[in-house]
Amino acid sequence: MRRRCFTPFALAITWLGFAQPCAAQGTIAYYRPDTPITLFTFGFGRQHALDMDGDADAELTFSYDFHFIGVRSEQATRVLTNMDPPPNVGGSVAPLPFDYSIGSSSAGGSLQWLGRIPGAPYETDFNTLVQCFDAGCTGDFRGQHAYMGIEFQRATGTHYGWVLLQISSVAPAGQIEAWAWETRPGVPMFAGAVPEPSTVALLLAGGVLMVWLRRYRNETKG
């Protein structure tokens, strides 16, 4: 039984030593709250400010009430959206699949980088995630477990990131599960990309393996 356990354990340690394609990327800041941030209320409208880079200035504000969930860009932040047909201005937040490249070239076709709309009232300038009426719910993020593409500014320049959301298909309910951003200015990142395994983690994993091997050899000799 112990001999059979060795192979998968060794393979797991070896796997940690290689960057997984598009699942890990260097120089990424990654945040995952202990419990997802809920976007749902039975009462009056509420808001949640999201400070992606931890500098005390929110990049996004999520608003939710009994029929709507939306997100507003703060400062010079822009969100990747599906463009509304002219003459409308704005768009519904685009749900991005895992591995989608988020960067300056992400806009194209029906996708656009959209920030604050000039002249729009600050209180109502939200891009739709889901909106529900008696006839049902609409919004491109309706029923999606997907990523938002984010572009925001720091003193170092333009940075790109993602926010992982889960949005209901039948109600104005959702949650923020995690977010991440590339710390190098101007460098695109993949949706869902997380930091590569650190050297410390690899050393610890290697140490665990060596201890296990030593005990295994002693037991087989005894």
- 3-class DSSP assignment, residue 221: helix
Instruction: For residue 25, give Cα distances in angstroms to 43, 93, 182.
Output: 41, 25, 9
Task: Inform me whether the pLDDT recorded for 202 exceeds 90.
Answer: no
Rounded to an integer, the average pLDDT of 58-77 is 96
Gyration radius from the chain CA atoms: 22
Q: Are 51 and 116 in contact (CB under 8 A)?
A: no
- pLDDT the model gives residue 192: 97
Kind of pairing between the strands at 28-31 and 174-182? antiparallel
From 51-65, 72-86, 183-197, 200-214, the region with the lowest mean pLDDT:
200-214
Q: Are 36 and 177 in contact (CB under 8 A)?
A: yes
- How far is the C-alpha of 214 from the C-alpha of 2, rounded, in Å? 13
Could you tell me where the beta strands, DSSP code E, fall in 14-84? 28-31, 37-39, 46-50, 60-64, 68-73, 78-83
Tell me the angle at which helices 2-16 and 199-221 cross, rounded to the nearest 10 degrees.
Answer: 160
Q: Are 141 and 95 in contact (CB under 8 A)?
A: yes
Buried b vs exposed e over 194-206: b needs ≥16 C-beta within 10 Å? Answer: eebbeeeeeeebe
Q: What is the average pLDDT value for the chain, to the nearest integer?
A: 83
Token couple for 75: 């400062």
Task: Inform me whether the pLDDT recorded for 8 exceeds 50.
Answer: no
Which pLDDT band holds residue 3 (cuts at 50, 70, 90)? very low
Instruction: Specify the pTM.
Output: 0.77
Kind of pairing between the strands at 189-190 and 46-50? unpaired
Residue scoring higher pLDDT (163 or 118): 163
